[in-house]
Structure 1
Amino acid sequence: MPETFRIQTLNAISPLGLNRLDREVFDLGTEFTDPRAILLRSADLHSYEVPSSLYAVARAGAGTNNIPVDKLAALGIPVFNTPGANANAVKELVIAGMLLAARNLYHAADYTRDLVAGQELTGKDLDKAVEAGKKQFAGFELPGRTLGVIGLGAIGVLVANAAQAMGMKVLGYDPAITIERAWQLSPSVEQVTSVEELFASSDFITLHVPLVEGTKGLVNAQRIASMAEGSVVLNFARGGVVDEEAVLAALDSGHLHAYVNDFPSEAGAVHPRVIALPHLGASTGEAEDNCAVMAVDQLSDFLLHGNMRNSVNFPEVVMARTKGTTRLSIFNENKPNMIGQITALLGDAGLNVTEFTNKARGDYAYTLVDVEGTIPADLKESILAIDGIIRARKIDG
């Protein structure tokens, strides 16, 4: 009888995604002690005691800072994310952030509200106060200004193209841009070769990079100093990629015009030149639906067929199924002669291999093998006995 996969949901997940799961095959719950998979958004797994039953973790979102990715990789547990599923929602927020900053809209709205709520002005008195006070909120327009985009993934490309369509000059920096994203990028976007060049040439800087060791404090005092006076920094990536102390100092001195971000801090939230939003990047119904659908589809494809799409800790491996075959899903350390030892065991068992694929990523590799007929019960144990094999699973056709 086919296995029923228990999927533990640790956050509210859009029904549009969950309804794609066949409930005869997948059992959803919030309190499983032995789940086969975990589906989450913001729940923190760093203190989670990983059960031996766990096959995979899927996050309905792009960032995985709340998940111990390396720890799970060492256990042969892939972590899936959903890059690009919330890209349009974040793009719209970045464009809105630029407009809020350029036209001083955030603080202008506060000023108008205070005239009525605080000073209780009405009628002609309100009109006079509005006219007298509006000069302090005079802003500037975006066409002709230069936007520097750091990170040209799904979100960065959309932001760059949208800003270029609004009449801005756009510079992009991403040494690891994919061919797919390069094709999507407007040919009018100029790619620069260094972060320093981008800062020195931009009126706005927007960040679309993960928080890793190499991106911590990417926006620092030295780079801010190279920007033109009156520039704007936008951060809808992760709080840690910006040295906020350096940004606040630049705002106090007048060197920066504004800092717009989605990661409020005690100091930043009350600063008069900061626009701090409550982590709204993907907070649209459409984005939540898109992320849930993508996460569920990737998770179910892995559980049912072993296919690996958008894993952050293992390589992408996708292989079509052939009727009448049995599949082996194997996680191993990336070391010599692993494939030879696996295929030798298959040959010794008299199994005819119909499809085989193996890919490596960093310290780990992933293998899918389809064989004709039935796999002997002891073969899995023989494979697991190979030095360097982390995990193996038999997937019936």
Structure 2
Amino acid sequence: MFTPPPTERSRIIADRVERFVRDVVCPYESDARVGSHGPADDLVVELRAKARTAGLMTPHILADGSHLSQLETAAVLKRSGLSPLGPVALNTMAPDEGNMFLLAKVATDQQKARFLAPLVRGDVRSAFFMTEPAEDGGAGSDPSMLQTKAQRDGRDWVINGRKKFITGAEGASVGILMARTGEGERAHATMFLVDLPHPSIRTERVLDTMDSSMPGGHALVRIENLRVPPEQVLGEVDEGFRYAQVRLSPARLSHCMRWFGTVARADEIARAYATTRSAFGKLLVDHEGVGFMLADNLIDLQQAALMIDWCASVLDAGSAATTESSMAKVAVSEALFRVADRCVQILGGDGVSRDTIVEQAFRELRAFRIYDGPTEVHKWSLAKKIKRDALHVNRAG
């Protein structure tokens, strides 16, 4: 089911990751510490201790600090996702994985030592504060709608606003916060690094969402008179939107990688059930309705794997891959959701219970069709590009 790792080093790491997830992590899936807002912090610490002992903490970042290529990362992160707890244990989970990538690209040496190094070690978690409440007219899929404002006060910046759906804010130690800087036509965004918890960042509530794989859940937070010194500006002032693109394309592809692993395992469970369970005088797989669903799963999974690897190769070639990552996010999230849905159907009553991860895979993939940009927003973006390209061709002709 998994496409071959592109290099020998990625094959070795991916195989070790798969053995660790299947043998060590999967038995924790029924642990009482896995709650509706994700695994509890003490469970995260326990799992990461086992990953550290196995020499697999943050496996896509090598001992010298270098990062596997995106194509190599795909081979590893797909395997890490074989359990919903796998990315948590191995430190490949969102938002930490995307935040580490951004910090490695943009942060100063001092910022890397203070904020990035503990993340890479798996000692702490992080949060990315961008999305805002719709009721405030704030930013969702359109970051230009940012309402949170940062204003200069002497050397420092003072930030006020509200953020919503902030994954992992509860329990995080590192925050990357986007705020509007400037007004009117001069409005820009800037990213700030924040130590958490912070008295000026208050959780109003942790939202009850259908997904439950990410530690800390998704919070609604209020930011009141948060004072940030200039040395905690991430990158350049007013360049926040550009840095968001640096982060978002690889991050949405990493989501595809991880959830591919989870759904591939759900398909394994459905296959095992259909090839051992009999009804109406024959194995379920011999009933055309079931056998065809498994065949469709095979097709969708293969197409999703190839789409992930194609987009990864575009990123490795040096492209921002904005268009390609939108295409991959739509194609993969929709395909994997179809697979998860079929797995629920094949298992019948067991598919809607929590005796296996199939039910959770269905919930997580339904949420993923919205997270990191809904399908419709990405299609709209692609349609705009089609129009721009056509107008350019017409003018050139």
TM-score normalized by the length of structure 2: 0.22
Q: Which has the larger share of helix? A: 2
TM-score (norm 1): 0.22
